[in-house]
Amino acid sequence: MRQQALLDLPPPDPFRLEKSFHAQGIDIIAGVDEAGRGCLAGPVVAAAVILPREISIKGLKDSKLLSAEQRERLFDVIYGCAVATGVGIVGPLEIDRINILQASLLAMRIAVDGLAVRPQQLFIDGNQPIEHEIPQKIVIKGDKISSSIAAASIIAKVTRDRLMCDFGNEYPAFKFSVHKGYGTELHLAELAKHGPTRIHRKTFRGVLQQAHR
């Protein structure tokens, strides 16, 4: 009987983090995430998203677990229902100047500052806080337990992918629309043949190796 009772239990809520803060009277929560940290080219992009308290978005999950088509659909849904959305973009020159960790944190701060509504609480995906006076909670793998972080991961990823597709038109020798600037075999072969462009991160090892051949 006990085994049957356990089997009948509902599955755990994957987005339980917001609810624990709602119970404390904290309703305006911004999830913050970034995309493009590990790339060899292009900007790092962060997003901050405040979702309505009672909303449930079908199919919402970590952007890395979604297809490009699913992300595009959810991108429009999130923008259509969010209380506020902010985006921060830090380019390759600044990444080379201050390093990718600091650039990622800066992009997150820019995204938060771009919100039209001031949140009571920030949920920051990862293991590092940002410089901000708003209370924040650092959440490792937060896109798996926070709906607002999952939404931010989708906004950041789709925004960056669109930028990289534009760069693919600007630099036709590089298939940025395919590899999005990540260090794939295709991208490394392009670097070996053509050398780095102005959007490559010159301090990254995969780019340095080709720049000094």
What HEC string does 136-165 produce?
Answer: EEEECCHHHCCHHHHHHHHHHHHHHHHHHH
- For the domain that residue 84 is a member of, what is the CATH number? 3.30.420.10
Is residue 56 assigned to a domain? yes
Is residue 34 assigned to a domain? yes
Is residue 184 assigned to a domain? no
The answer to whether the CB of 122 falls within 8 A of the CB of 17 is: no
User: What pLDDT is attached to residue 209?
Assistant: 74
Domain count, the chain: 1
The answer to whether the CB of 200 falls within 8 A of the CB of 208 is: no
User: What pLDDT is attached to residue 8?
Assistant: 47
Sequential DSSP letters for the chain:
-HHHHHHTSPPPPTTHHHHHHHTTT---EEEEEEE-TT-SBS-EEEEEEE--TT---TT---GGGS-HHHHHHHHHHHHHH-SEEEEEEE-HHHHHHH-HHHHHHHHHHHHHHT-SS--SEEEEESS---S-SS-EEEETTGGGT-HHHHHHHHHHHHHHHHHHHHHHHH-TTS-HHHHTT---HHHHHHHHHH---TTB-TTSHHHHHHHT-
User: Strand pairing partners for 49?
Assistant: 31, 85
User: What pLDDT is attached to residue 15?
Assistant: 74
Average pLDDT across each block of 10 residues of the chain; the chain has 213 residues. List them in order.
42 74 95 97 98 89 89 96 98 98 98 98 96 96 92 97 98 98 96 96 88 53
**Rg of the chain on CA atoms, in Å:** 19
Copy the structure tokens of residue 49: 């998203």
User: What pLDDT is attached to residue 2?
Assistant: 41
Is residue 7 assigned to a domain? no
pTM for this prediction: 0.91
Range of the domain at 20: 12-172
